[in-house]
Structure 1
Amino acid sequence: MNNPTRAHRIAKLLLCAGIVWLGAFQISSQPARIAHASALSAVSPDTPAPEPLRRFAADTIQQLAANAPFTGWSAAKPIIEPLGPGTHSWLVTLSSGTSTSKAPLGYLIISATPEGDYKLVEYGLGENSLYAKPTLESGLAGLGFTAKAKSLPTVTPVYAGPVLAEWMVRAAGKSGSVHFIDALTGERLPESLQSWNKQAASYVPPSSAAGSAQKSLAAAATTRHADPFDPYDNILWMAGEPIQSETNRFDELLAVYKRLVFVTNGPDRTYSIPLPITGYQKWSADPQSSGEDAIYVLTGSDSSQRWIALDALKQSGKFVAYTD
């Protein structure tokens, strides 16, 4: 996939959303020299993760480690952090556990259901993965928060589904302004505290995703139908009709079209993003159990691969065919 400049990505974001965003906006091409401990002081509240969540995360990691490209996860050390107030979601960052490699091996995002179960909403790997610290530093620099700033903001990772993964940045002081940064690209988003709260309040974990109550699910190898691509290389999909499909037919659908674009929509959204879809991974249920298969669609680039629960995407947008 191409690696466009930040200004280019902003233009793409606004084109898809149909938003005209006025005003100058300077983004540094170099990461800000902000100490992680200071800039992220509000990201990791000193609250231990529930033991059932830890067990589910450990089981999930071992399931994925059985197949490439996750085989390096077999000895990974998980670090679990809460994602924002009120959404009942957690970020599980996988570390190699050695001092020679500080780069994360990958991540999981797990959400709790009202019934008390845990659902695997998405997972991924790559140097530019979701909530990567260098991306946050660059995003903060774009907002003017650098190492020379008199006071650093409070930063909280927030999550209300795979197409609402953001950082909330609150400036110091009682009347400090609130900004939102995309957790994948580091771009400043046309989001407000009011619009975020409204959307987050309606977030429901995907019911068909792999969960802690489904003990018999096993992850198969990822099926890839195409290489990563940039949806903006050909924007005809913007006028495309939604492709309708039942969850258990998605594998056949992708086998026909090879490349799809998922497009976010909804009356409460303040911006829209397209996700290129090139493959999927199936979590299959034991035939002797009453569980259902779970499908995770593959999206992203070579430097940031994401597997997202199909049901989570179907709640917040549509799939359209991508053509050359």
Structure 2
Amino acid sequence: SDLNAILKAAQRSAEITRQLLTFARRQTINPQPLELNQVIKEMLQMLNRLIGEDIDLVWLPGEEAWPVKMDPTQVDQILANLCVNARDAIIGVGKITIETSNVVLDEPFCKEHPGATPGDYVQLSVSDDGAGMDHTTAAQIFEPFFTTKKMGKGTGLGLATVYGIVKQNDGFVNVYSEPDLGTTFKIYFPRYSGQTEPIKIVEESNIEPGKGERILLVEDESAVRNLGEMMLKSLGYQVISAGGPMDALKLMELETEKIELLITDVVMPEMNGRDFASRIQARFPDIKIIFMSGYTVNVIAHRGVLGEGVNFLQKPFTVNALASKLRSVLAH
């Protein structure tokens, strides 16, 4: 049994490593000039739901923040992971503060901060008044698998994911923390000096929350699944999540209440999304289905994996895109 436990642990480590590499490096991203303040503003409604009523969320946008170039969904991922991390560090009531500012980094600063290069940056900081960390813990937090949470409560991938995204966008991150004094993450994104006409600003839309509908989420990449689950819960849905078709089918055997909607990845190791959805429909004939994939809908259609006219969501997606797709599918 000890050998089995070791083998299972090794398999789990290999799986998480594969997921992290896939998530950080091979994700389909669409970098574009952004106003960081606008992207954060659109995310606040979701973040408030994510952290709960006992914690105040304070938003302090810097004036005339410079543009940056990155995928807006990656900003969402950074904020969701940092706010969940801050929430978990706060016992009872507390405060999380999100700030932006323009900063110019010089040689002396960069010598003191490995990974930094001189230049113009937009700084995004997320601070909490939670438990804080000692220096030993703070030095390890960006390592994959490292977590201070109880067994089964965290994958240890949240902050490693943040680190991967920041590095992918030529930025760097510093953490400042003391036990009992809270924690501040400072992320530096290079100023985008290319053509800023037009910076595509999406007007803040009223995200229509769910009405407590029950959703089955099936996604084999745990980092993507965790983020999707957070988004869905923050939008007011009840979520049952599974790491693959076989796990989901086992869960559904025990399910007696109605499941209104299935969100499933298209390409999964055990079974493709179309065949899996057919199995679920046999159990719940009225269930609505949304397929999601990092591949474009054209590629998926060309490969014959999905038929025409299906509900499709391109990964990675923003909370606005998810909310909009859910309401339109559930309404029909």
User: Do the structures match in fold with TM over 0.5?
Assistant: no
* TM-score normalised by L of structure 2: 0.27
Structure with bigger gyration radius: 2
Higher relative contact order, structure no. (Cα contacts within 8 Å, ≥ 6 residues apart): 1
Relative to its length, the structure with more helix (as a share) is: 2
